[in-house]
Amino acid sequence: MMHGFIPPKRYFSYLTWKEIAEMPNKENVVIIQPIGAIEQHGHHLPIAVDSAISLGVLGKALSQLDKTIPAYALPCLYYGKSNEHYGFPGTITLSAETLLSVIKEMAASIYSAGFRKLVLMNSHGGQPQIMDIAARDIHQEHPDFNVFPFFTWRVPNIAQELLTEKELEYGIHAGDAETSLMLSLLPEQVKMDLAVKEYPRNLPEESLLSMEGKLPFAWLTKEVSTTGVMGDATVATQEKGDRILASLADGWIAVIEDVYKFQGLAN
């Protein structure tokens, strides 16, 4: 079915135009745009990981959300800016300009329908900056439109309690966390017999510079990984994935509730 992980009653595309036109209190309805990517995730995970995580986490959150809070999921934006994985077959990437345009034009349609709260739920680590730029530009054009550029993993969750210090620092792609979560969401699509442990190579030692820290440098996956994995996927388990999924869903429920209550800053 089209809705996948999303509860049917929370799936925006199942509404009719008349139902949308007559929806009460539209300025406080929370519209959520899941955003992922189609990109390599090593030999053991499918290329749809980031999109699956967006939909899986959001679906579980919406299924448990208070029924009195109006919140709807848009269809997932499966393609993202994934050019750091250039050279790995199967990766499909949009340019930053194209993704930015798609988000802004989607938002314009949501605004024209009368909605005033839009969450950009991004699960791909290569494009948070685009979400930030889109949200600011959209809000500048429509000051009464509240746009929230969120990263799926930044809500309160227990992942840090389950991962090693090395994994927390270097396990940024197809490692323990993503593999465990996929074992919970789509276990039949995970090939644990092909899972590997590979941390980024060629990184500067004893340096303030890092891949994704406060002082980052540009990098391509093929420069730091042979398999496309950055982390230890061999220690992933479904039990860890179930716990991570439950905590992420709880975090997203709290965030959606906060967005629903948010009254904006425009005078």
Question: Six-digit token pair at 129?
Answer: 């900056």
pLDDT beyond 80 at 186: yes
Distance CA 151, CA 142 (A): 23
Q: 92-122 b/e with 16+ CB inside 10 Å = b?
A: ebbebeebbebbbebbeebbeeebbbbbbbb
Q: For the chain, where are the E strands, in sequence order?
A: 30-35, 71-73, 117-122, 146-151, 197-198, 231-232
pLDDT at 183 over 90: yes
Q: Identify the band that residue 267 occupies on the pLDDT scale cut at 50, 70 and 90.
A: low
The helix (run of H) or strand (run of E) holding residue 228 is: none
Residue 205: its pLDDT value, please? 87
Instruction: Write the pLDDT tens digit of every residue in 147-162.
Output: 999 999 999 999 999 9
Task: Find how far residue 25's CA is from the centre of its chain.
Answer: 27
Q: What is the pLDDT of residue 264?
A: 87
SS3 content of the chain, % helix, strand, coil (to 5): 45, 15, 40
Span 23-74, pLDDT tens digits: 999 999 999 999 999 999 999 999 999 999 999 999 999 999 999 999 999 9
In sequence order, what DSSP letters do the residues of 26-63 get, joined into one string?
GGG-EEEEEE--B--BTTTB-TTHHHHHHHHHHHHHHH
Q: Is the pLDDT of residue 245 over 90?
A: yes
Segments in 65-116 forming alpha helices (H): 96-112
Give CA–CA dist 201/33, Å, rounded: 35
pLDDT number for residue 34: 98
- Name 202's Cβ contacts closer than 8 Å, sequence gap at least 6: 223, 224
pLDDT in tens, 7-18: 999 999 999 999
Average pLDDT over residues 106-123: 98
The residue with tokens 């039949």 is 188
Q: What is the largest CA-CA distance in the chain?
A: 61
Q: Over the chain, what is the mean pLDDT?
A: 97
pLDDT computed for residue 237 by the predictor: 98
Q: Which domains can be identified in the chain, with CATH numbers?
A: 13-261 (3.40.50.10310)
* pTM: predicted TM-score of the whole model, two decimal places: 0.97
What average pLDDT does the segment 112-131 reach?
98
Could you tell me the two tokens for 143?
Answer: 């000051």
Write the burial class of residue 158 (CB in 10 Å: 0-12 exposed, 13-18 middle, 19+ buried). middle
Condensed to tens digits (0 to 9), the pLDDT of residues 206-224 reads: 899 999 889 999 999 999 9
